[in-house]
Chains A and B, each alone.
Chain A
Amino acid sequence: MAVPPGVSERDFSDALGEFERAVGSEWVFTQAEDIALYRDAYSPLQGEDSEILVSAAVAPETTEQVQAVVRTANRYRIPIYPISTGRNLGYGGSAPNLSGSVVLDLKRMNRVIEVDDKRHFAIVEPGVSYFDLYRHIQDRGLKVWIDTPDPGWGSPIGNALDHGVGYTYGLYRDHFNSHCGMEVVLPNGEIMRTGMGALPGSDTWAEYRYGFGPHVDGLFSQGNFGVVTKMGFWLLPEPEAYLSGTVTVPGRNDIIELIEIVNQLEHTGLIGMPNYGTPLQAHLRDPEVRSILEQPFAAAAQALERWARGNDTGYFSCELQFYGPKETVQANWRYAQRLLGEIPGARFTMNHELEFPLTAEQAEGLHKVALGIPNLEIFNIGRRTEPGTPGWDGEVWFSPIIPKSGAAVLEAQELFTETFRELGMPSFTHPASTPATWMYRTFIFIMGLPVSRSDISANQRMREAFTRLANAGAERGWGEYRTPPVFQDLVMSHYSFNDHALRRFSETLKDAVDPNGIISAGRGGIWPKHLRG
């Protein structure tokens, strides 16, 4: 039997007995074939001695059962690691930071507590997936949208707590920022409710997030101060219409003015998520373009722009998405064309207009997450596309935060392309790469680095590349917004202002709130006192 670090076999056995009495013996997993299912399916450490494994898993169905499990864990000083649906693939999956932890699997806590389509919020438990919440809403004909990340099997709570993101409108895309109210089981087993939930008899728990006094919710995101058992989320009222149009600009430096204007449109609420791209994507397999991209960065950038102008493809593009009344989305599209038309050579394409609700046939082929429809189509990235080439076995996302400006995009292209060149690896970026725009007020210059189930040396090279990229970004002042456990200490080490004052503050809180260090040891780079180096 695997035993958590620092725990005697006898204590662990006694604790498992208490877990079984709390949740039922069928929901305590200790057999090797069961606990193997709590590895990170996309672990870059798989098959190596350092792979993070768990000692057991416990799956409560109610908050009271969570309290009982946490009290037992605290008494025996057993490290536990809560997961919601356990599908944080690319950022750690269901695996903890500390090998030997007991996973607290909250998938069975799957109640949709409330959805209000007049005041536009939902309150859910951690095991509810985006699919579940969407189906609950559709089944009842409620006129609200969820904002979903790419994989619909994730949990609104788990995703928000890891600062996950989506695709629709403004602040709804930042899932932690659109949460309102929490219920948390603290390390001593007490229940706490935040915001208006702290006021007995309040009926505004999911409407006013601050309540009164310090706003502590952030401690529970990428943190380890408690087990979140309920959360509220603001929902977008179903709009009447949607319009998608694309602007294409001819020059590489046009990205600077393009982003300035699109920022203006977005920050005044006229558009949802802008999708930057490049028409050159369709030509990356062209032998001439491939040869251009093999040149040093500055020369490649110049040659690529000449090629784009010579072939009249355009260099950068941006899809603009408008949500609202039919008349308004059309007027806003005209307004956007007026502003963007100031960029010499800008061209416009109207993609499609929709009115809601959609039929299944109308939604097929559209970018569903932009319409609040959960799905799993993101897994087409990296999958097998040709016979004989197996595709990826998963990926780790490298996701540095960069400013929302064209200058930063051009600089990030060069910084990361040159880092790949120094590593002697094919680059995942090039002089026409564009950032992800999920965050309302910043860009994520994301790239997926593949992992292998069988090639340990390839995983080791990938980890080295990740570390070099992260260090290069940090030297420039660009840190990751989210990362798998294996890189969390590295990323937190980059947030080092004033001798790591932020981490030291969190450690001070950790020691006070969780003196036995039982909850998610190491999560977010915060370790309990007895495990700090």
Chain B
Amino acid sequence: MGCRLFGLALLCISVLSYGQVPEDGLTSRELGIAASLPESRVAILARGEQVYDYWCKTCHGAEAIKPGTGALQAKYQGNVPAVLVERNDLQPDFVKLMVRQGISMMPFFRPTEISNPDLEALAAFLAPDAR
């Protein structure tokens, strides 16, 4: 699940409780599209994890069959972790560039999918100082 902060444990448990399904999580309506960043850092990181779980994990999750994970394993040969949430070198500007520009097979994502505040939260969640 990539629960990176103790404060997010409840969120992770609630998502895990769907339990029986391999691709669990929120629907895009439940996730919503943030119009502004939450005020507290804990809330920003929690939002970032929700965005990660909905938009990124399906390709970058821990299972080897995930295409993003497989591609990064092939690229880095284990020199850096293939799973994004295990990385400690993802600077926010780099994450934002990848999301809005895409790379290789990965297409770019629009603000109607990941709004600018949601992208800020995602970048904060993946940043080294969130660990």
Give chain A's interface residues, CB within 8 Å of chain B: 26-27, 29, 33-34, 36-38, 41-42, 57, 59, 85-87, 89, 93-94, 105, 107-108, 110-112, 127-129, 131-132, 134-136, 138-139, 152-153, 357-360, 363-365, 368, 373-380, 382-387, 390-394, 453
Contact = CB atoms under 8 A, between A and B. Distances in A.
Given A110-B29, A358-B20, A153 B105 contact: no
B28 A373 contact: no
Contacts of B68: 379
Interface string B60-83: 000101111011001111000000
A445 B18 CA distance: 39
Nearest to A137: B21
A2 to B, nearest CB: 17
Given A37-B108, A38-B110, A108-B33, A129 B28 contact: yes
Contacts of A41: 102, 107-108
Contacts of A112: 27, 29
Contact of A375 (B19, B26, B58, B71): B58
Interface of B: 18-29, 33, 35, 54, 58-59, 63, 65-68, 70-71, 74-77, 100, 102, 104-105, 107-113
A390 B35 contact: no
Contacts of B113: 85, 107
Q: Is the interface of B mostly helix, strand, loop or mixed?
A: loop
A152 B57 CA distance: 13
B20 A138 contact: yes
Given A110-B27, A368-B22, A386 B74 contact: yes
B35 A135 contact: no
In this complex, the member of B19, B27, B76 whose beta carbon has the largest number of chain A beta carbons within 10 angstroms is: B27
Q: Is the interface of A mostly helix, strand, loop or mixed?
A: loop
A34 B22 contact: no
Given A152-B58, A383-B104, A393-B105, A375 B23 contact: yes
Given A138-B18, A383-B67, 5 more contacts: A34-B110, A37-B109, A135-B18, A379-B68, A394-B105
Given A112-B29, A384-B104, A373 B22 contact: yes
A373 B71 CA distance: 22
Nearest to A393: B104
A7 B100 CA distance: 29
B111 A376 contact: no
A373 B21 contact: yes
In this complex, the member of A36, A153, A358, A373 whose beta carbon has the largest number of chain B beta carbons within 10 angstroms is: A153
Contacts of B102: 41
A374 to B, nearest CB: 6
A359 B71 contact: no
A358 B107 CA distance: 31
A97 B77 CA distance: 41
A361 to B, nearest CB: 9
Contact of B67 (A42, A139, A380): A380
A74 to B, nearest CB: 23
Contacts of B58: 131, 152-153, 375-376
A392 B29 contact: no
A42 B28 contact: no
Nearest to A26: B35
Given A33-B100, A138-B24, A108 B112 contact: yes
A387 B107 CA distance: 21
B100 to A, nearest CB: 7
B26 to A, nearest CB: 7
Contact of B105 (A128, A136, A386, A392): A392
B112 A59 contact: yes
Nearest to B54: A131
A29 B104 CA distance: 25
Contacts of A59: 112
A94 B21 CA distance: 29
A209 to B, nearest CB: 26
In this complex, the member of A112, A377, A382 whose beta carbon has the largest number of chain B beta carbons within 10 angstroms is: A377
A379 B69 CA distance: 11
B111 A34 contact: yes
Contacts of A387: 74-77
Nearest to A39: B108
B14 to A, nearest CB: 11
A116 B71 CA distance: 39
Given A383-B67, A391-B105, A105 B22 contact: no
B107 A132 contact: no
Nearest to B25: A135
A377 B26 contact: no
20 contacts: A26-B35, A37-B111, A87-B107, A105-B112, A107-B112, A110-B27, A111-B29, A128-B27, A136-B27, A138-B18, A358-B20, A360-B24, A364-B65, A375-B58, A376-B67, A379-B67, A383-B70, A386-B74, A392-B105, A394-B107
